[in-house]
Chains A and B, each alone.
Chain A
Amino acid sequence: MTHSLLELREVSLAIGQQQLCRELSLRIEPNQCWGLLGKNGIGKTTLLHSLAGIRPLQSGRVLLQGQALSGLSRRQLALRIGLLFQEGIDSMPASVLETVMLGRHPHLQSVLLDSAEDLALAEDALRLVQLDGLAERQVGTLSGGERQRLSLATLLAQEPQLYLLDEPSNHLDVSFQVRMLDLLTARVRSQSRAMLMATHDINLAARCCDHLVLMLPDGSTIQGGRDEVLSQENLSAAYGCSIKALGDERMRLFYPA
């Protein structure tokens, strides 16, 4: 039997005394783009951090290609799972190229020297997010959108099997939102990777993702193919307000009524 890229078995999460999701089971296969939707504070970020192995689970198991997450070293994890933080990588005094090179950290071979291959991958990643002209700039001098693209470039340079994205469209204008996510989904499909993206933008999720997890206020979830999950009833239940759809089979737009 082949293993899923990522499998969650009855995962429960809590922050302090507050129960977030309860007994979530989920399988993410290669070539799939999953969207993670739910209200503010429902636990999307907590779930992503737990899946990246940087937060403990309350209960349940997470298997990465059949191996328990808890049994893998940090480096083994970082070679296979990459996480785009909601706040981005903070503006420590560092240049753009230095920051992208952080993404190569789990792959580094030499203790001291940068390999030409790592540098080439970092420069490729900068070119993909259209920051190649700014390689020598200080991160602190970048705009919010440029910084978000820099974080994306760092993730691309990391080349994980599974991309975990926390609000990837933050600070990006409409054209970059679409371009950056098309870039990621194309990479997922051409290289048999997978992605799980938390977002508050239902329409962006509908555009980029083929599968969705909808986190509900009672701790349960609705999951499945995009078109089954994205219904007016499901979304209204998840967000606690009336949400209506507009459009046809080809393209639907959701808006609060």
Chain B
Amino acid sequence: MIGSRHLILLGLLVALALGSVLLSLLSGSIELGVFEVVRALTGSSTELGEQVVREIRLPRTLAAFVTGGLLGLAGVIMQVLLRNPLADPYILGISGGAAVGALSAILLGLGGLWVTNGALGGALLSILLVFGIANKFGQWSATRLLLTGVVISAGWGAVINVLLTTSTANNVQSMLFWLMGDLSQSQVGAPHYLLLLAGVLGCLWISRALNVLAHGDLVAMSLGVDVGRLRIGLFLGASVFTASAVTIAGSVGFVGLVIPHLLRMLGARDHRILLPAAMLLAGSFLVIADSLARTVVAPQQLPVGVVTAIIGVPSFVLILRRTLSR
């Protein structure tokens, strides 16, 4: 059910998203004020500070938001589909496959675009493997998918360790950054924005069916939901979201697992609210985490995946304790 407090929540999250983007545009080694940032966004001056905002900070901020948003959506979907609170976007082994692809590219000494393509190829390969193996007469049961995903992930884990232990120290540094999730090399373009937009709209379109599906397959079927088709669509959708996210930023952990739980604890259980809210909160969260990742130990940078965990864990524990005591 949608109540006024849900609309307020969504409103606050939109404000948070805008605020986090502004914060991210303001933070960095060159000190700029709000006025200068706004002017940089609207104008086309070639002054250094404004160029930094337009060409360095803005693309990275948007990459963070898109990555977070996609992971938020994928996390909600996986948790409903597998009916398992531990489910996250990476549970089917997609990040493992992407990591092997990306790390191989780094090992071969190939740069930026090749790492991205390697990650995409690895993610797609992993999806094909998991769905191919778990397939039984054209049906995919949650348990079979979950088991196959866990096993395939373990396999990728072993390959990743081989790659790490046989690489030079220099390569290992970039590999570790990739594995922990890092936005310093990220590039996003129109396809990513369109995917996020289509993802949110598509999720809203089926959000009521998700509300029913959360009560189990049989109940959903008896209430008119075409469970078989919906499941396949959701698995594929979540896989594409996850594959895109890891292609942009490596395997940023924590966001896709915790943001949906956090919102449910705050009362957003209806998927009509939960899905857009998860997209907004996960996006903002990653934008803020990335701002910190590149400023806290400047001029050094931290992988954003480390920061998400460092600020995410305590806030999650706090909210968990507060909702339990109520």
> Are B224 and A106 in contact (CB-based, < 8 A)?
yes
> Are B223 and A78 in contact (CB-based, < 8 A)?
yes
CB of B272 within 8 A of chain A? yes
CB of A53 within 8 A of chain B? yes
CB of A79 within 8 A of chain B? yes
Contact of B218 among A54, A73, A92, A93 (CB under 8 A): A54
> Are B223 and A105 in contact (CB-based, < 8 A)?
yes
CB of B222 within 8 A of chain A? yes
**Nearest residue in B to A93 (C-beta to C-beta)?**
B269
Q: How far is the CA of A97 from the CA of B1 in the complex (A)?
A: 8
The tally of residues in A whose CB lies under 8 Å from a CB in B reads 34
Interface segment, A26-34, A107-115, A142-150? A107-115
Given contacts A89-B215, A89-B219, A102-B211, contact A74 B269 (CB under 8 A): no
Given contacts A111-B204, A111-B208, contact A95 B225 (CB under 8 A): no
Given contacts A74-B224, A78-B223, A101-B1, contact A90 B216 (CB under 8 A): yes
Residues of B within 8 A of A108 (CB): 208
Given contacts A49-B218, A78-B223, contact A111 B205 (CB under 8 A): yes
> Are B223 and A114 in contact (CB-based, < 8 A)?
no
Chain B interface: which size bin? 20 to 34
Q: How far is the CA of A81 from the CA of B222 in the complex (A)?
A: 8
CB of B207 within 8 A of chain A? yes
Q: How far is the CA of A49 from the CA of B221 in the complex (A)?
A: 10
Within 8 A of A (CB), among B184-228: 204-205, 207-209, 211-212, 214-216, 218-219, 221-227
Q: How far is the CA of A49 from the CA of B217 in the complex (A)?
A: 13
CB of B270 within 8 A of chain A? yes
Q: Please encode chain B, from 92 to 126, with 1 for each CB lying within 8 Å of some chain A CB and 0 for all others.
A: 00000000000000000000000000000000000
Residues of A within 8 A of B224 (CB): 74-79, 105-106
**Nearest residue in B to A106 (C-beta to C-beta)?**
B224
Given A74-B225, A111-B205, list of 16 further CB < 8 A pairs? A54-B222, A74-B221, A74-B224, A82-B222, A89-B219, A92-B215, A93-B264, A101-B1, A102-B223, A103-B223, A105-B212, A112-B2, A112-B207, A112-B208, A113-B2, A114-B2
A-B contact pairs, 18 of them (CB 8 A): A49-B218, A54-B221, A74-B226, A75-B226, A78-B224, A79-B224, A82-B222, A89-B219, A98-B1, A98-B270, A101-B1, A103-B223, A105-B223, A106-B223, A108-B208, A112-B272, A113-B2, A158-B223
Seen from chain A, the residues whose Cβ lies within 8 Å of a Cβ on chain B are: 49, 52-54, 73-79, 81-83, 85, 89-90, 92-95, 97-98, 101-103, 105-106, 108, 111-114, 158
The 6 closest A-B pairs by CB, nearest first: A78-B224, A106-B224, A75-B224, A54-B221, A83-B222, A105-B223
